[in-house]
Structure 1
């Protein structure tokens, strides 16, 4: 296996684009080569097989979707409370809209995992770690609510993200800001 980290990252980014645009069935090593603009066979030099590529896509999407630490530090200068929670959720939607491909790729991976038990295990582990990290971060930041609050916010925002990605006009009449405000108000009452 080749070890050029920049090339590996470029191939993973191309794979995310293929997955987002063509779906799981369109994700082949050859399609990644084409999307990355590299010679045929290059992806095979970096990933043993499609299953390995899928596993590494999960890691790369996590990197791409992690908030910028400087921007996050700026946001966190505000007193912890419902308004900060709402701001963080709005920023989540903004990041999703800025990198639709990563979110669509993760949706495709979820669907693919229903047919591949080995991917299901990897995906479950990845999302469990993300959820646990989000719960710990929320509580450590002093934001309102408890573990169940974060779980409810996670599930609700997942629905918002899926709808905004797939049928954006469904939520448009309600307004994302309004949805987030109501969600935070009802999830962390009296906070």
Structure 2
């Protein structure tokens, strides 16, 4: 078996996320990936046995890119659970996703591809399901206001808000997204 370079694998996965965001799932070919990563032709095929494996690994990697840092999670956990802490967490989420818009667009592209390919669906659904349950657990077990229903509503609201922000922000030019976050938190977690 050929020994693989983990830094090169990470660079390939980062490039795969960027290609997914820019070209869509159908544009993610070995050739496109090699070009985007700036590696010799044929390199990607040495790291990913087939396209399904590439898409599944890209799905896992996009979560690495989009996840909050350990410091952010520790800071949130160290504070007394409150509506204000949740509000700040939603703003941090917005800033993090906005900073890596390609990562979030790639995740949306993987979700769409999952509707067409059962093998991709299994990987994407497992990862997203795990993330949803982790968010619910953190909120409920942490004693944040609103319980399970509130965190589910916030998840769905923020998912929609991020889709709008990254795909058609000009449709929302009449308002600022940070102000919308404050409104959403206020509606979902009234004082």
TM-score between the two structures when normalised by the length of structure 1: 0.93
Q: Which residue of 2 aligns with 1:70?
A: 71
Q: Which residue of 1 aligns with 2:141?
A: 140
Q: After TM superposition, give the deviation of residue 76 of structure 1 in Å.
A: 4.4
Q: Which residue of 1 aligns with 2:21?
A: 20
Change (3 A) 1:169 1:79: farther
RMSD: 1.4
Q: After TM superposition, give the deviation of residue 5 of structure 1 in Å.
A: 1.2
Whole-angstrom distance in 1 between the partners of 2:155 and 2:109: 19
Q: Is the 8 A contact 2:165 2:177 kept in 1?
A: no
Q: Is the 8 A contact 1:82 1:143 kept in 2?
A: yes
Q: Which residue of 1 aligns with 2:11?
A: 10
Whole-angstrom distance in 1 between the partners of 2:172 and 2:105: 18
Q: Is the 8 A contact 1:2 1:45 kept in 2?
A: no
Count of residues paired in the alignment? 190
Whole-angstrom distance in 1 between the partners of 2:183 and 2:94: 15
What is the SS of the residue equivalent to 1:179?
helix
Deviations 1:140-167 (A, max 9, x none): 2221111111111111100000000000
Q: Which residue of 1 aligns with 2:48?
A: 47
Q: Which residue of 1 aligns with 2:105?
A: 104
Correspondence list, 1:1-191, <5 A:
2-190=3-191
Q: After TM superposition, give the deviation of residue 75 of structure 1 in Å.
A: 4.4
Structure 1 runs not aligned, ≥5 long: none
Q: After TM superposition, give the deviation of residue 103 of structure 1 in Å.
A: 0.4
Which one is further off, 6-15 or 174-183? 174-183
Whole-angstrom distance in 2 between the partners of 1:170 and 1:145: 31
Q: After TM superposition, give the deviation of residue 73 of structure 1 in Å.
A: 2.5
Q: After TM superposition, give the deviation of residue 94 of structure 1 in Å.
A: 0.3
Q: Is the 8 A contact 1:18 1:32 kept in 2?
A: yes
Q: Is the 8 A contact 2:34 2:40 kept in 1?
A: yes
Whole-angstrom distance in 2 between the partners of 1:35 and 1:106: 18
